Amino acid sequence: MSTTPATPAPDADWWRQAAVYQIYPRSFADANGDGIGDLKGITSRVPYLKQLGIDAVWLSPFYPSALADGGYDVDDYRDVDPKLGTLEDFDEMSAALHEAGIRVIVDIVPNHTSDRHEWFKEALASPKGSAARERYIFRDGQGADGELPPNDWTSIFGGGAWERVTEPDGTPGQWYFHLFAMEQPDLNWDNPEVHEDFKKTLRFWSDRGVDGFRVDVAHGLKKDMDAAHDDLETIHRADLFSLGEHPLWDRDEVHSIYAGWREIFNEYTPPRTAVAEAWVHADRRAKYASPEGLGQAFNFDLLQADFDAGQYREIIATNLAEAAATGASSTWVFSNHDVVRHATRYGLPKGGGHIGVGQDGRDWLLRGGDPAEVDVELGLRRAKAATALMLALPGSAYLYQGEELGLQEVGEIPDSERQDPTFFRNPGIEVGRDGCRVPLPWEQEGTSFGFGSGGSHLPQPAWFGRYAASVQEADAGSTLAFYRRALALRHELQGAERLTWHESADDDVLHFERPGGWHVVANFGDAPVNLPEGDLLLVSAEAEEGKLPAGATAWIRSQG
Ligand code: GLC
Ligand code: CA
Answering whether pTM is above 0.75, one says yes
Q: What are the CA-CA distances from residue 447 to residues 404, 452, 456, 457, 472 (Å)?
A: 22, 8, 8, 12, 19
Cβ of 69 less than 6 Å from ligand 1: yes
Q: Are 336 and 367 in contact (CB under 8 A)?
A: no
Give the integer Cα–Cα distance in Å for 262 and 366. 35
Q: What is the mean pLDDT of the chain?
A: 90
3-state secondary structure 279-343: CCCHHHCHHHHCCCCCEEECCCCCCCCCCCHHHHHHHHHHHHHHHHHHCCCCEEECCCCCCCCHH
* Residue with more model confidence, 475 or 365: 475
* CA–centroid distance for 102 within its chain: 18
Give the integer Cα–Cα distance in Å for 426 and 296. 33
Residue 423's pLDDT band (cuts 50, 70, 90): confident
Thinking of the domain 14-110+193-482, which architecture would CATH place it in? Alpha-Beta Barrel (3.20)
Residue bearing the CA closest to ligand 1, atom 4 = 72
Give the integer Cα–Cα distance in Å for 197 and 218. 16
498-557 classified as CATH 3.40.50.10860? no
For residue 353, count other CB atoms closer than 10 A to its CB: 7
- Residue 169 CB burial class (10 angstroms; 0-12, 13-18, ≥19): exposed
Catalytic residue, chosen from 163, 216, 420, 513, is: 216
- Phi, psi for 144 (deg, rounded to 5): -55, -40
Mutate to test the pocket of ligand 1, among 67, 112, 117, 180 (most ligand atoms within 8 A of CB): 180
Cβ of 320 less than 6 Å from ligand 1: no
> Is residue 373 annotated as part of the catalytic site, yes or no?
no
48 C-alpha to center of ligand 1: Å? 27
Secondary element (H or E) of residue 500: strand 500-501
Residue 153's pLDDT band (cuts 50, 70, 90): confident
Amino acid at 349: P
In this predicted structure, the answer to whether residue 385 has a pLDDT above a threshold of 90 is yes
pLDDT in tens, 490-519: 998 867 888 999 999 899 999 999 998 999
Give the integer Cα–Cα distance in Å for 454 and 452. 6
* Ligand 1 atom nearest to 338, measured from its CA: 9
Mutate to test the pocket of ligand 1, among 105, 114, 338 (most ligand atoms within 8 A of CB): 338
Ligand nearest to the CA of 421: 1
Ligand nearest to the CA of 81: 2
Q: Are 366 and 430 in contact (CB under 8 A)?
A: no
For residue 129, count other CB atoms closer than 10 A to its CB: 10
Q: Which residues contact 494 (CB under 8 A, 6 or more apart)?
A: 6, 7, 8, 9, 17
**Residue ranges per structural domain of the chain:** 14-110+193-482, 118-177, 498-557
Q: Note the pLDDT of residue 545.
A: 86
Amino acid at 162: W
* Residue with more model confidence, 240 or 195: 195
464 C-alpha to center of ligand 1: Å? 26
Catalytic residue, chosen from 147, 253, 267, 292, is: 267
Ligand nearest to the CA of 422: 1
Give the integer Cα–Cα distance in Å for 69 and 77. 15
35 C-alpha to center of ligand 2: Å? 6
Q: Reduced to 3 states, what is the DSSP secondary structure of residue 162?
A: strand
In this predicted structure, the answer to whether residue 181 has a pLDDT above a threshold of 60 is yes
Residue bearing the CA closest to ligand 1, atom 7 = 217
**How many CA atoms are closer than 13 Å to the CA of 109, on its beta-carbon side?**
26
Amino acid at 192: P
Strand order across the beta sheet in which 535-539 lies: 500-501, 509-514, 518-523, 552-557, 535-539
Q: What are the CA-CA distances from residue 368 to residues 348, 357, 361, 413, 437 (Å)?
A: 10, 9, 15, 9, 12
- Phi, psi for 172 (deg, rounded to 5): -65, 135
Strand order across the beta sheet in which 138-139 lies: 138-139, 172-177, 162-166
Residue 486's pLDDT band (cuts 50, 70, 90): very high
* CA–centroid distance for 401 within its chain: 11
Mutate to test the pocket of ligand 1, among 59, 62, 63, 69 (most ligand atoms within 8 A of CB): 69
In this predicted structure, the answer to whether residue 273 has a pLDDT above a threshold of 50 is yes
Give the integer Cα–Cα distance in Å for 264 and 197. 13
Mean pLDDT for the stretch of residues 417-424: 88
Cβ of 46 less than 6 Å from ligand 1: no
In this predicted structure, the answer to whether residue 146 has a pLDDT above a threshold of 80 is yes
> Is residue 306 annotated as part of the catalytic site, yes or no?
no
Q: Note the pLDDT of residue 238.
A: 59
Q: Which residues contact 49 (CB under 8 A, 6 or more apart)?
A: 21, 57, 97, 100, 102
Mutate to test the pocket of ligand 1, among 115, 216, 275 (most ligand atoms within 8 A of CB): 216
Task: Select the highest-mean-pLDDT range: 138-147, 229-238, 360-369.
Answer: 138-147
Least confident of 96-110, 242-256, 433-447, 467-481: 242-256
Residue of 151, 65, 159, 63 whose CA lies nearest to 114: 65
Residue 370's pLDDT band (cuts 50, 70, 90): low
Task: Select the highest-mean-pLDDT range: 9-13, 149-153, 404-408.
Answer: 404-408
60 C-alpha to center of ligand 1: Å? 10
Through-space distance between the first and last CA atoms of the chain, rounded to whole angstroms: 4
Q: Note the pLDDT of residue 365.
A: 40
Mean pLDDT for the stretch of residues 141-155: 93
* Proportion of the chain above pLDDT 90, given as a percent: 75
Thinking of the domain 118-177, which architecture would CATH place it in? Alpha-Beta Complex (3.90)
Cβ of 338 less than 6 Å from ligand 1: yes
Q: Which residues contact 146 (CB under 8 A, 6 or more apart)?
A: 140, 172, 173, 174, 175
126 C-alpha to center of ligand 1: Å? 28
Q: Note the pLDDT of residue 363.
A: 42
Q: Note the pLDDT of residue 241.
A: 64
Residue 10's pLDDT band (cuts 50, 70, 90): very low
Q: Are 337 and 536 in contact (CB under 8 A)?
A: no
Give the integer Cα–Cα distance in Å for 410 and 208. 36
69 C-alpha to center of ligand 1: Å? 8
Reported for 81-88, long-range contacts at CB under 8 A and 24+ positions apart, including other chains, are 83/34, 83/36, 83/38, 84/25, 84/26, 84/36, 84/37, 84/38, 84/39, 85/38, 85/39, 85/40, 86/39, 87/208
Work out the angle at residue 322's Cα, subtended by the Cα atoms of residues 555 and 342, and round it to the nearest 5 degrees.
50
458 C-alpha to center of ligand 2: Å? 13
Cβ of 58 less than 6 Å from ligand 1: no
Residue 350's pLDDT band (cuts 50, 70, 90): low
Give the integer Cα–Cα distance in Å for 246 and 220. 10
